[in-house]
Structure 1
Amino acid sequence: MFEYALHRLRHDDLVRRAEQDRLAREVLRLRRAARHQPPTNPEPPHPRTNFTRAA
């Protein structure tokens, strides 16, 4: 029974590590993808006016 409990602990630890590795790879992939996309500006630029801003 003790050997089975150790087996389950090792198995659960390996599964946890594999999930962490998958998440780390996913984060890296998303960061790389975000770096290669041009920045988007949802607001249009402000039109130029001849007036100066008041203080």
Structure 2
Amino acid sequence: MFEYELHKIMHAELLRRASLERLAGEAKRSRREARRTAREEGGRTVSTSGLRDRFTHAA
């Protein structure tokens, strides 16, 4: 009986750890996706190909 109870405790502990690791992985993926989205949104440039030729550089 004692071995069975230990088995149940260990099983519950393994399930708890797996759940925590799953949650940590989810948070990691979420942060990565947020960084990727922010980089894509903030990194957009305006096309100025026509304006470059019309103005000279400042001294």
Name the TM tier (shorter chain): 0.5 to 0.7
**1:31 equivalenced with 2:37 (yes/no):** yes
- CA RMSD, aligned part only? 1.8
User: Larger C-alpha radius of gyration, 1 or 2?
Assistant: 2
Structure 2-normalised TM-score? Answer: 0.63
Provide structure 2 residue ranges, at least 5 long, that are not aligned to the other structure: 1-6, 48-59
Show structure 1 runs of 5+ residues with no match: 42-55
Deviating beyond 4 angstroms after TM superposition, the runs of 4 or more aligned structure 1 residues are: none
Give the whole-Å Cα distance in 1 for the aligned partners of 2:32 and 2:8. 36
Percent identity between matched residues is 17
Normalising by structure 1, we get a TM-score of 0.67
Cα distance in structure 2, aligned partners of 1:29 and 1:22: 11
Q: Which has the higher helix share?
A: 2
